Amino acid sequence: MSRDVDRREFLTLAGTAAGAATLAGCSGGNETATETSGGSTPMDTGTPEEELPEPETREEHLQRTNRLVHDDAPWIFLNRQYSVYGKSADVEWEARRDERIDGYAIEPTGSKSSVMITQSKMDTGLDPHDHRETTTDNIVTQAYEGLLERDREGKVVNQLATGYERLEAGQVQFELRSGVSFHSGDSLTKEDVAFSINRIVDPEAGDLESSQSDQLAGVTGAEPADGDSAVIVNSDGINPVVFALFATYCDIVNKSWIESNDAAYINSNMEGTGPFMLDTYEQDVRVVFESYDDYYMDAAPADQLTIQSAGEPSTRVNQLLNDETDIIVNVPPQNISQIQSADNASISAVPSTRIIYNAMIYNREPFDSVEFRQAMNYAIDLESMVSNVLGSFGDQTGQPTLEGFTGYNPDLDPYPYDPDEAERLVEASGYAGAEIELHTPSGRYLKDLEISQAVVSYLDELENVSASVKQRDFGKLVDELLDGELETSPAFYLIGWGNAAFDASQTIIPLLTSDGALTSYRNDRVDELMDQAQSMGGES
Amino acid sequence: MGSFGRFLLKRSLQGVVVILGVISVLFVLRYVTPGSPVDFIAPLDASDATRRRIAESLGLNQPLYVQYGDYIVSLLQGEMGYSYRSRTAVAPRVFAKLPATLELAVAATVVAVILSIPLGVISATRRHTGPDYAATVFSFLGISTPNFWLGVMLVILFAVQFGAFPTSGRPVGLLDALGHLVVIAGPERGWALPLNVGSFVAAMQNWLLHVTLPAITLGTYFTALITRLTRSGMLDELGRGYVQAARAKGLPTTLVRYRHALRNTLIPVITVVGLQLGTLIGGAVITEAVFDWPGLGSLIIDAINNRDWPLIQGSLVVIGAGFVVVNVVVDALYVRLNPRVLE
Amino acid sequence: MIRRLLDAVTGRLSPRTVQNLRSEFDTSPLTKVGVGILVVVLVTAVFAPLLAPWNPEAQNLDRSQQPPLGFTRAENQTTQETVDGEVQLIQETVQVNATVAHPLGTDGLGRDMLSRVVYGARTSLVVGVLGTLLAMLVGVPVGLVAGYYKGRVDDALMRVADVSLAFPSLVLAIALVGLFGQAAVEVPDPLVTTGLAAAIRGVTSLPGGLAYPTGMPATFTLPGTVILVVGIVNWVWFARVARGEALGVRDEEYVKAARSLGGPDRFIIRRHVFPNSITPVLVLATIQIAAIVLLESALSFLGFSGTTLSWGFDIAQGRQYQTTSWWIAAMPGLAIVLTVIGINLVGDWLRDALDPGIEGEGGGV
């Protein structure tokens, strides 16, 4: 198998790995171009990109792509979403960047020893390998742990592994921590770890069609090593992001427990190694944990941890202010000051890894005109929108990559608010008088409908464009976006994309390359640049 | 078999047919509605292969009539299949939600009956006085106010502004609260109530605090409706010959009012309330949404939003069947109270 | 004026009915109130582009959450600044005052509540009336046929009705709208597309020296799925009433006579059975409009709607601001209450005057 084939396969895999975490994969700066592609066809005559020197490092490739995308404006660049939590004065805790809440890090103060979290939804079952949402993650990861973990800032740290190394191209090894026991008292073995990995990647191994197989993209299986407590993980190809993946995904389960119980039981009980063990499970209502006494580190500061849900943000705020709960998720902007000024509560906020944008499908009228797409960006007063709709809990964006990510281009500013320029560009595009309709989900992302309504009202203010909002059922909207045909997608829609990998590629490949799963855009130069960038991936 | 027995049997058979109809309609719905459950389970960017595997693991690749047959068979065994999303059994999940919805409905009915019948009687017996006008205005507002809005307003006023009630939730169920009593005075500890009933009182208090606003929210429409019906019924009855005659005979007015007139008034009231039970359950669904009350309503909305068909079917079958049973009971009650209709 | 309007409408009814309607109208002040409310709501709905002070969708983010006249709102503003990657919070207190330009205040996006309430009347009434018409069109023929033929046909149709009745209407509506999606149709608004609204609005000005904005929405969103669903959900009530009436007359001498003369059933039903059911169906329709207005608002509140210009939708939006700006949820709710009271009063009037012998059909939310 030639190197090229390997790379192409990696690209496909990376393209399908939603938010595959590659924090360490691309430190940037120290990589050099190992190979430049020959026979590339120059594209997009007329863009200033042509006059720039060819990028060399991976970072430069990614930055160049961001510049191209900024100029060509296949999106209306909107905002980076923040994770905003409310916490009561009875606990000490700080928000994490990856949207998870680690119960172990919550310290009750004063006489209290129990902690209550209110999130937006309950779990969709407790099987740690059979779900994909943050809300379920937040529940199962109190009791289940992975080999590696991330700290609050996103750095990779050990959890059930005490060390890891690459043995050869497609093979890595994890050393296991000793003295770890499951909540039932069974000791953690290397067979359990290998089984857990295989259960995700191999439908035969654990009799489960895991929806997480994409999260361990590239991993083909695992086996216990010859030593006392080590596990070998095999990948297809070099899989440079493998350690990063294990830092975010793959909870370790007890093999014998899984094998001796049916799906319904596994989904309503827990058998992990984590600091909390399940006390009572009232499906759709609440999950109560108690501290696990035999945890291999200090027992959790809280004796009891309850997770409940309230779908309506204002209900969560009320619960917090009425001392009915200790931590609430997704505080809406209009309630932030109220919580911050309350005696019994405060706000904990971090920029998240999610970008909110309006896709404009590149080959559909009137969005097939670059001028028109740029005009849309000039028409939006992004600054006012962020400060008024989002209460300034959001950052303006001007490129698909978020600040702080590998590949972020610091030279690009968000489009300025310039309605005159916008009207001029619309005129120039030949689409004056265009009527456009923005399809938007409601309640899926923070203030999504309000953002859409604000966008449309700015566009509608242009003399030569009329715009309206169409509220969509999220499931059906996504259905249309995913059917692989751009023709059946709405030409203009709002969506949010989370990228826990902190790397430009994990946004650009799925959303902006020709073969991306959720793409709305095709630009051969972008494809080429990303192709080259991904062939330069360093070891994680 | 008496004519009442025959009526009951016929009515019950009809009920069974209707329940079968409900199940069939749900299957047809499932077939004709757009969108596959897979879309709601699979990650945004899942490959076709993954989606196909998920469909297979849910049994969605089976022909519909096979799924239908399997479903009927499992229903007869008291099972409702497994949720697509969480893989847990549907039947226990639905029945776990039932108490929350029922206690809300019962609390609302209790509120409604306690308030409305006296209100209606006062209103009728003191026609064209202050209380009558007040009751009339109240009942008019009551039947014209959307309950979810009333709920939101009650929360803003009594929970947010005054902090008198919790804003939402149901930390303790009524049965759990009553359970404290059984544990305190059970076979093991002897049936005598010990003095320390603190835990029972605390749990009961907690439940009452949480159920008050939802019960008012849900009960207001019914209070208003029954007040109206009682008033007009009483007015009709009081104007009838037998009441005049009884009065003329010198029977005390109160006896006439409550023994005869009210009793006759309540017959149509019961029927109408029976007919309105659907509205009560429907109202419970939306009241649950306002107060995050974890009952069948939130379960159904969630299930619909996720196209979790086993869960949609399970909860709707339970609601439909429950409703059919209640209707049969109401009919039977009506016939019992009013045997003339059988002739 | 109202009297004359009524006379025109009632001209086609029997003299005795008209007499009843008139005397009830004259003697009952509540009826006058009800008719008055309904006329106001109707006019508001029809002439929304002329009456709404602002474009209901036009937002002004600098004016968000303005209180209604007579109220003020103190706001602790918190803004954030990122210093070394950590989020720092800055607090300041601002007093927000009401303005004449927005007498009912503004919502979270600075849209005028009064204008939204005015436009919301359209959605409510259009769904209420079209939904009721649909329910009537489906329900009345089914009921007449069932009652006229009795026996098997009746049994079968009534079991279908029972299945439909086995679900609370709200639950069934949620399920249908949720599963079939929230399709909506954009209908051009003739008042706006003809330029009439802009012309009339151009000559008037707002109090406070503000110009009366002329740009109003050119289209009106008709929530198609919702209308279909509320119609389908409520057909049973009409079927029941029509069936009862048909059962009542099928053995009357004149119907029997018509049958012995060999008249086709279709003809007999249309000519002899249907006219009998008109009065009760009319009264039921009034009650149903109220019920459907409530049902529509509940669906919109739960997010099962096709439009963002609806009282129920605004209440749901307002709920998000319930701790800071109560009026966003309060105003549209008051509009619903007022409208439903109006319809119910008119319904009572019709019921008292026509005495159709129906009670407690339909339902509230």
Of the candidates A390, A387, A369, the residue with the CA atom closest to the CA atom of residue A436: A369
If contacts are CB pairs under 8 Å, which of residues 192-211 in chain B contact chain C? Answer: none
Partners of residue C325 in chain A, C-beta under 8 Å: 334
Give residue-wise pLDDT tens across range B205-228.
Answer: 889 999 999 999 999 998 998 898
pLDDT band at A38 (very low <50, low <70, confident <90, very high): very low
Over residues A284-299, the mean pLDDT reads 94
Fold held by A1-21+128-271: Dipeptide-binding Protein; domain 1 (3.90.76)
Q: Is the peptide bond before C213 cis (omega within 30 degrees of 0)?
A: no
Local mean pLDDT, 10-residue blocks, chain C (365 residues): 54 69 83 93 93 85 86 77 68 82 90 94 95 95 90 87 84 89 85 85 63 76 92 91 86 82 82 82 90 94 87 92 90 96 90 67 45
pLDDT at residue number B169: 85
In single-letter form, the type of residue at position A289 comes to F
Point out the residue among B35, B54, B82 whose CB comes nearest to the CB of A475: B35
Closest CB to B21: pick one of C159, C302, C344. C159
Candidates B101, B168, B309: best to mutate against A (most CBs of A within 10 A) is B168
The predicted structure's pLDDT at residue A11: 31
Is residue B44 within 8 angstroms of chain A, CB to CB?
A: yes
**How far is the C-alpha of A481 from the C-alpha of A464, rounded, in Å?**
28
Report the distance separating Cα A441 and Cα B134, nearest Å.
46
Phi first, then psi, for residue C168 (nearest 5°) are: -60, 140
Residue A23 scores a pLDDT above 80? no
- From the list A313, A351, A450, the residue facing C109 with the nearest CB is A450
Q: Specify the domain boundaries for CATH 3.90.76.10 within chain A.
A: 1-21+128-271
Provide the 10 A C-beta neighbour count for residue C201: 21
What whole-number percentage of chain A has pLDDT above 90?
50
pLDDT at residue B329 tops 60: yes
Pairing of strands A304-309, A114-119: parallel
Q: d(Cα B333, Cα B339) in Å, to the nearest integer? A: 10
Contact A318 B35 (CB under 8 A): no
Q: Is the separation of the CB atoms in B205 and B177 below 8 Å?
A: no
Beta bridge partners of residue A281, listed in sequence order: A287
Interface contact flag, A336 C78, Cβ < 8 Å: yes
Rounded to whole angstroms, the Cα distance separating C232 from B133 reads: 37
Give how far A486 is from chain C: nearest CA, Å.
Answer: 21
Residue among C214, C182, C184 at smallest CA distance from C52: C214
Q: Does B169 touch chain A (CB under 8 A)?
A: yes
Residue with tokens 């010959």: B241
Please tell me which residue, A483 or A308, carries the higher pLDDT value.
A308
Q: How many residues would you count in chain C?
A: 365
Distance CA A148, CA A248 (A): 7
B51 touches chain A (CB under 8 A): no
d(CA A346, CA B51): 42
Q: Do A332 and C182 touch (CB under 8 A)?
A: no
* Beta strand ranges found along A32-74 (DSSP E): none
Structure tokens at A477: 């909207």
Q: End-to-end alpha-carbon separation of chain C, Å?
A: 34
C127-156 as b/e, with b when 16 or more CB fall inside 10 Å? bbbbbbebbbebbbbbbbbbbbeeeeebee
Helix (H) or strand (E) holding A220: strand A219-224
> Can you say how many angstroms the Cα of residue A393 is from the centroid of all Cα atoms in its chain?
18
Residue at token pair 């008051």: C334
pLDDT grade, residue B242 (50/70/90)? confident
Residue-wise pLDDT tens digits, A430-440: 999 999 999 99
Candidate from A181-185, A327-331, B104-108, B229-233 with smallest mean pLDDT: B229-233
**Are B93 and B318 a contacting pair, CB within 8 Å?**
no
The pair of structure tokens assigned to B237 is: 């009855």
**Complex ipTM:** 0.88
Q: What is the mean pLDDT of residues B137-163?
A: 91
Q: Return the number of CB contacts < 8 Å for A and B.
A: 109
Q: How far apart are the first and last CA of chain A?
A: 23
Distance in angstroms (rounded) separating the CA atoms of residues A111 and A108: 8
User: Nearest C-alpha of chain C: how many angstroms from A337?
Assistant: 5
A187 C-beta neighbours (distance < 10 Å), count = 12
Residues in chain B with CB shorter than 8 Å from the CB of A125 are 83, 85-88
Are β-strands A91-92 and A107-108 bridged in parallel, bridged antiparallel, or unpaired?
Answer: antiparallel
Distance of CA B136 to the CA centre of its chain: 26
Q: Are B285 and B161 in contact (CB under 8 A)?
A: no
Q: How far is CA C28 from the centre of its chain?
A: 25
CB contact under 8 A, C178 and B305: yes
CA A472 to centroid of chain Cα atoms: 22
> Does the predicted TM-score (pTM) go above 0.90?
no
Question: Residue A401 in 3-state DSSP?
Answer: coil
Cross-chain CB nearest to B33 (options C166, C179, C333)? C179
Percent above pLDDT 70 for chain A:
88
Residue A192 structure tokens: 């359990």
Q: What is the three-class DSSP state of B327?
A: helix
The owner of tokens 């404009």 is A360
CA-nearest residue to B308 within chain A is: A124
> Mutate which of A473, A474, A479 to test chain C, going by most C C-beta atoms within 10 A?
A473
- Given a contact cutoff of 8 angstroms between Cβ atoms, the answer to whether B272 and B284 are in contact is no
Assign domain A31-41+57-82+354-533 to its CATH superfamily: Dipeptide-binding Protein; Domain 3 (3.10.105.10)
Residues of C whose CB is below 8 A from B147: 364-365
From the CA of C189, how many Å to the nearest CA of chain B? Answer: 29
Average pLDDT for residues B19-26, to the nearest whole number?
Answer: 88
What is the pLDDT, as a whole number, of residue A39?
Answer: 35
- Residue from B39, B47, B84, B167 whose CB has the most chain A CBs within 10 Å, to mutate: B167
- DSSP characters for B292-316? T--SHHHHHHHHHHTT-HHHHHHHH
Closest CA in chain A for residue C216: A460
Instruction: Please give the Cα distance from A73 to A177 (Å, whole number).
Output: 49
C-alpha distance from B16 to closest chain C C-alpha (Å):
11
The pLDDT value given to residue A106 = 94
User: Does pLDDT of B180 surpass 80?
Assistant: no
B307 touches chain C (CB under 8 A): yes
> Has residue A32 got a pLDDT over 50?
no
DSSP, res A503: B
Q: Nearest CA to A525 among A55, A12, A25? A: A55
- Collapsing DSSP to helix, strand or coil, C194 comes out as coil
Compute the average pLDDT of residues A212-217: 76
Give the strand pairing for A156-158 and A148-150. Answer: antiparallel
Question: Bigger pLDDT: C105 or A534?
Answer: C105
The secondary element (H helix, E strand) that includes residue A149 is strand A148-150
- Output the pLDDT for position A516: 82
Task: Label each residue of C240-294 as H, E or C.
Answer: HHHHHHHHHHCCCHHHHHHHHCCCCHHHHHHHHHHHHHHHHHHHHHHHHHHHHHH
C127 vs B74, residue with greater confidence? C127
Q: What is the pLDDT of residue C204?
A: 66
β strands within A296-362, DSSP E: 304-309, 327-328, 345-360
CB contact under 8 A, A283 and B93: yes
Q: Number of B to C CB contacts under 8 A, please give it.
A: 169
Question: From the CA of B259, how many Å to the nearest CA of chain C?
Answer: 24
Q: Which residue of C has its CA nearest to A82?
A: C87
Q: Which residue in C80, C74, C123 sits closest to C97, CA to CA?
A: C74
* Residue spans in chain A of domains classed CATH 3.10.105.10: 31-41+57-82+354-533
What element of type H or E holds A76? strand A75-88
Q: Per-residue pLDDT for B255 more than 50?
A: yes
Contacts 24+ apart (CB under 8 A), A161-164: A161/A246, A164/A243, A164/A246
A517 inside 8 A of chain B by CB: yes
Question: Which of chain A's residues have a Cβ under 8 Å away from the Cβ of B42?
Answer: 211
Q: Which chains would you list as touching C if contact means 3+ CB atom pairs under 8 Å?
A: A, B
